[in-house]
């Protein structure tokens, strides 16, 4: 089923220049969707450093298990991604499918299966027929091109209504480097990795251990701070690759993630990760509004984040946002149920710049018209001050509409 493009989608797509050292190609294998691409292959002509972060689900997909095993090698030559089937909860058939795909990719590239990384997204519990796309990998490896980022993003979409791309530049020791990324995600989105697939590539020369440190830190304020429906996917995969091509321009290889020469790169990488994560929220299934929830004055940052997620994941808060109803009582409810220290009589709440509650009761200067004006916007900030400490956190979510139920009510059909 085709769904209307989210009203929160970008009005234009950013220009995605090539990243030296990586090529991409896509194909339509008919795994689930008809008349659209559903297989992506990324090819690294020289061994690339790789880092990864995956779902914390106790029921991970076969490709997640496969990637975790290969990540210890720290080297990538190929990535194969399919949409339409998650290859999750598929038992021995799923493992056989990943092995068949990896062997086909390794043969096409001329590398070891240990240098192949896989990801699948789509329906859970349906066996994936790897022959549908493993046979096209040879052609993809040959036809892959550098200038293909937007098409690559389109090939990994499921219920997404638009492709998600981001790019940034940085410098390492005075040498310019580029970072490009793509992502998919619209439903089954919650932290621990937030629900999605994302692939980020840089031409910087950075060792795998340093790359891993950068990525692990970068997901906290980005992909692990977004939620659409509180459900963590079986397939969440975020992979970061460094092709090392910038070494040809004189960039000295970076071995330590704490190296001060990485300051510019770290900032640019975090910008790309947050950009992609927010695009996922803005494409939340059926979403018409994006909500930024900030909690401050909590006992500590961890408590602030748990309270913020309690608010962001509350169906009652999210449906109130959908109905443009400034129902701050539901925010009070979500704070109270979070299980963290809170003092009702110190609690203050803002919708946008309008304070609606102060020190445990409705604000004495509460203005219904001003609050309604905030709720009519596409982007709605909600801020809560607990008044008991210095803890602070911000998370991002979207509203909950009838369309979410419609999309997920017939997802398998």
DSSP string, 204-269: S-B-HHHHHHHHHHHTTTTGGGB-SSSPPPS--EEEEEE--GGGGGTPPPB--TT-GGGHHHHHHH
- ∠ CA 321-290-373, rounded to 5°: 55
Q: First vs last Cα of the chain: how many Å apart?
A: 9
Q: How far is CA 123 from the centre of its chain?
A: 18
Instruction: Over range 2-29, report the average pLDDT.
Output: 91
Question: Rounded to an integer, what distance in angstroms lies between the CA atom of residue 15 and that of residue 11?
Answer: 13
The token pair that represents 406 in the structure block: 């419609």
Instruction: Over range 181-193, report the average pLDDT.
Output: 69
User: What torsion do the CA atoms of 349, 351, 357, 362 make, to the nearest 10 degrees?
Assistant: -160
The token pair that represents 116 in the structure block: 């192949």
Residue 143, φ and ψ in degrees, nearest 5: -85, -10
> What is each CA distance from 38 to 132, 360, 394, in whole angstroms?
11, 52, 34
The token pair that represents 23 in the structure block: 């090529």
55, pLDDT greater than 90 = no
User: Closest Cα to residue 217, out of 363, 51, 338, 35?
Assistant: 51
The token pair that represents 252 in the structure block: 């000295």
pLDDT at 187: 59
The token pair that represents 327 in the structure block: 């129902």
Question: Rounded to an integer, what distance in angstroms lies between the CA atom of residue 369 and that of residue 371?
Answer: 5
Strands 75-85, 116-123: pairing is parallel
List the catalytic residues.
195
Cβ(171)–Cβ(198) below 8 Å: no
* pLDDT tier at 194, thresholds 50, 70, 90: very low
pLDDT at 2: 60
Q: What is the pLDDT of residues 85-137, one digit of tens each?
A: 888 888 999 999 999 999 999 999 999 999 999 999 888 889 888 888 777 99
Average pLDDT, the chain: 91
């Amino acid at each position: 089923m085709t769904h209307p493009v989210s009203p929160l989608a970008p009005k234009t797509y950013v220009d995605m220049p090539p990243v030296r050292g990586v090529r991409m190609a896509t194909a339509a294998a008919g795994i689930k969707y008809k008349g659209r691409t559903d297989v992506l292959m990324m090819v690294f002509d020289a061994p690339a450093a790789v880092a990864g972060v995956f779902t914390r689900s106790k029921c991970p997909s076969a490709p997640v298990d496969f990637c975790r095993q290969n990540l210890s090698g720290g080297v990538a030559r190929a990535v194969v991604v399919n949409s339409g089937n998650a290859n999750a909860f598929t038992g021995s058939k799923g493992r056989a499918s990943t092995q068949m795909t990896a062997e086909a990719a390794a043969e096409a590239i001329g590398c070891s299966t240990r240098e192949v990384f896989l990801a699948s997204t789509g329906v859970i519990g349906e066996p994936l027929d790897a022959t549908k796309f493993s046979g096209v990998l040879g052609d993809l490896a040959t036809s892959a091109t550098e200038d293909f980022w937007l098409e690559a993003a389109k090939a990994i979409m499921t219920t997404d209504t638009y492709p998600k791309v981001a790019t940034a530049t940085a410098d390492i020791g005075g040498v310019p480097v580029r970072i490009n990324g793509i992502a998919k995600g619209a439903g089954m989105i919650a932290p621990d990795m937030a629900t999605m697939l994302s692939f980020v590539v840089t031409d910087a020369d950075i060792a795998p251990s340093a790359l891993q440190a950068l990525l692990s830190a970068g997901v906290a304020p980005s992909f692990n701070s977004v939620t659409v429906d509180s459900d963590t996917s079986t397939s969440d995969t975020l992979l970061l690759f460094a092709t090392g091509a910038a070494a040809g321009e004189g960039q000295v290889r970076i071995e330590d993630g704490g190296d001060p020469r990485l300051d510019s790169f770290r900032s640019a990488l975090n910008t790309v990760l947050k950009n992609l994560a927010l695009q996922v929220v803005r494409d939340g299934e059926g979403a018409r509004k994006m909500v930024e929830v900030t909690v401050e004055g909590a006992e500590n940052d961890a408590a602030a984040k748990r309270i913020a997620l309690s608010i962001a994941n509350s169906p009652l808060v999210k449906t109130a946002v959908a109905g443009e109803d400034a129902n701050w009582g539901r925010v009070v409810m979500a704070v109270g149920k979070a299980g963290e220290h809170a003092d009702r009589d110190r609690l203050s709440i803002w919708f946008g710049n309008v304070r609606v509650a102060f020190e445990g009761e409705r604000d004495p200067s509460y203005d219904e018209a001003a609050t309604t004006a905030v709720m009519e916007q596409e982007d709605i900030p909600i801020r809560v001050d607990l008044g008991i400490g210095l803890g602070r956190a911000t998370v991002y979510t979207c509203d909950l509409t009838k369309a979410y139920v419609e999309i997920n009510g017939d997802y398998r059909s």
